[in-house]
Amino acid sequence: MNHTNSFHSSDEFSTNESREFVNWISETSLFQNYEEAFSKSSGIPLAIRPFKSSQIVIHGKSAKNKFCSILAKKSKSCAACLEIQSALEQSARTSPKSIHCFAEMCETMIPIRIDKKLIAFLQTGQVFLNQPTTDGFSRITRKLTELGAIVDLINLEEAYFQTPVFEPKQYAGFISIHTIFAQHLAAL
């Protein structure tokens, strides 16, 4: 990918350049080994995504959250997830940002910047930073009803309570590690 003649006047590379970068980096052994080591040690997914992506890239990962995977199969709840990711992407353009979805799970994006220009994001999350509760699950089922999403509540509840829970300091440590890794990817 030739970056020297393809810069734009904005603070980001083009959408095509972002996709090319993500495709190239995701095929490197450096990224694959890091992703595998992180997912195995933490039990949560890590993905690299181009900006302005209209896909939920974490759902294809081996350490994906079962709860989120169930919801991703329903167009109404999937649309809610895409809205959250779009808002997260807008807030994470210059530094890592986390957001809580309607299910109270934390999701984070870390920008990858080359020469101060945004090229892509690392994305992780789908975790709780507090213990899930039956009241929390009741709120989620009400929200899903409002959205018109029909799901198997027995499987969804089981998956909800199997979602990883991290102490905020531990999760912040993951984000710090990913921020350093994003800098290394940009240096490539």
Report pLDDT for 76. 56
Beta strands (DSSP E) in the chain are: 46-50, 97-100, 106-114, 117-127
| 2 has pLDDT over 60 | no
Q: What's the pLDDT tens digit per position in 120-161?
A: 999 999 999 999 999 999 999 998 888 787 788 899 999 999
Q: What's the pLDDT tens digit per position in 42-94?
A: 989 999 999 877 665 555 556 678 888 888 776 555 667 778 888 898 999 99
Reported pTM: 0.85
Q: What's the pLDDT tens digit per position in 161-187?
A: 999 999 999 999 999 999 999 999 998
Q: For the chain, give every domain's residue range.
A: 15-64+80-129+165-187
Report pLDDT for 130. 95
Q: Provide the β-strand partners of residue 165.
A: 128
CATH 3.30.450.40 fits 15-64+80-129+165-187, yes or no: yes
